[in-house]
Structure 1
């Protein structure tokens, strides 16, 4: 099926903003409060989840069922509804739960939309700081606490040695080969910064960061961010250059001229 028309896209974007408003109202009162933290990973690892994550995803799914009952939902906390639907909302209610539970504001709500399996719309909301980042039909935008929407554009950085690279944590690279590949790129760049989760990709789309390199991502970690980065002028793929929709080893570049050079370094 073809990409949604401009008028249809506007309708979908309105829904995405409403979903973010609803989830933000659920999450905001829970931030920097004493919360019980459950571990989804079992005894040998740590994958935290809180009632805020769960309540926000329920609120999003409930609104989608009411406003777009023919659409599906892929959520981190409650799985998939209507897997056969042409439109699938891909939701991570709190991307960066580790930051959330430690009181750091480097987390966000990810709301993405797939159409026939392709990412067509993305939104990242940070309800505590009042920031929101989203993809329009052809461009990308951010809204800060002053309420003004501004166009986002990645910056030119064709040389690896001039690049600023971010990753959430070196712990994402679970094999020595992955860590070696990341460090090979990191050594060649100007500066490496850790932390950020979804926030790092939005900083890239805003022109403050040149590379984000990660591994072990799930669909709900990346789908919403792909249209934001690409419509700001960047590129997002797996380390071997394939579409990033299913997650895995991910590299995002603000300058497409930088992207192929980094892929070569990662795969040397």
Structure 2
């Protein structure tokens, strides 16, 4: 954390908390409300955006404009903002809008801040169940209905004893789906549809792997910070950094990461 003490680690942490609090209010204002509709951002598949996505990001951007006007902003719903400080806030106002529309509680808000080298700090927040995962700047903790606890990923175990998550059964392209199916049958348990919450479960020591494709920077940077702070590993399917998204392999430890990586590339 000493590397960032000069720019105020505590201010970054408290700013992120204020952003997450504001996003909680904005998203819960519309969650499970009558008449909630969505616009489709793509023509080939259903990629929804709601009034809550936009309101959540607008409120977070307003806080950053007030508290940290020299930092950049990269968000899902609005144009990037260039900064002069060397720091950029990366925001996903609702990760899992399909789940949000469906009334499930597994969507979340992703907040992270990065410099030229990588992610410094990240938050995975679940407004409905009021559970918040934090990682970076000396922190690795979750605070929620069961109180505040230290985050620590699972110890190594064979893939045959592992729990694997992905958002979509098809994963991505036909090629990506085929690679995923080289891993999935070898796991003890495979589950789908958790969006960003699955990454929090890795950090909390509940599951072993998340494998996804087609992600954006705002989908993955907060999970990277949280999982790495808890002792896990997040890379692309070639074992390289994945700050800009794409194909993502998140793992509880180096051993399970290596086993899944070998199968993805076999």
Tell me the TM-score normalised to structure 1 length: 0.94
CA contact (8 A) 2:165 2:198 kept: yes
> Which residue of 1 is the match for residue 37 of structure 2?
36
CA contact (8 A) 1:173 1:179 kept: yes
Q: CA contact under 8 A between 1:6 and 1:137: conserved in structure 2?
A: no
Aligned-partner SS, 2:99: helix
Q: Distance in 2 between matches of 1:6 and 1:263?
A: 38
Partner SS state of residue 172, structure 1:
coil
Q: Distance in 2 between matches of 1:97 and 1:197?
A: 9
Deviations 1:169-208 (A, max 9, x none): 123322x221111011111111101111100000111011
Structure 1 residue aligned with 2:15: 15
**Which residues of structure 2 form unaligned runs of 5+?**
none
- Summarize the alignment of residues 131-142 of structure 1 with structure 2, pairs less than 5 Å apart: 131-142=131-142
For residues 67-82 of structure 1, the aligned pairs below 5 Å read 67-82=67-82
Alignment of 1:1-268 (within 5 A): 3-5=3-5, 8-33=8-33, 34-42=35-43, 44-82=44-82, 85-145=85-145, 148-174=147-173, 176-268=174-266
Question: 2:156 and 2:263 mapped to 1: Cα distance?
Answer: 16
1:158–1:255 CA contact under 8 A, matched in 2 = no
Paired with 1:3 and 1:239, the residues of 2 have a C-alpha distance of 30
Q: For residue 140 of structure 1, give the secondary structure of its aligned residue in structure 2.
A: strand
Contact kept? 1:235, 1:255, Cα under 8 Å? yes
Change (3 A) 1:83 1:217: farther
Distance 1:6 1:83 in 2: 18
Shift of 1:139: 3.9
RMSD: 1.5
Number of matched pairs: 264
CA distance in 2, matches of 1:259, 1:172: 18
Question: TM (normalized to structure 2)?
Answer: 0.95
Between stretches 193-202 and 111-120, larger displacement belongs to 111-120
- Classify the secondary structure of the residue corresponding to 1:56: helix
Shift, 1:83, TM fit: 5.5
Q: Secondary structure at the match of 1:18?
A: helix
C-alpha distance in 2 between matches for 1:62 and 1:139: 26
Give me the whole-angstrom Cα distance separating, in 2, the residues matched to 1:214 and 1:63.
31
Distance 1:83 1:161 in 2: 46
Contact 1:3 1:115 in 2 (8 A): no
Rounded Cα–Cα distance in structure 2 between residues aligned with 1:131 and 1:227: 17
Higher mean displacement: 90-99 or 252-261: 252-261
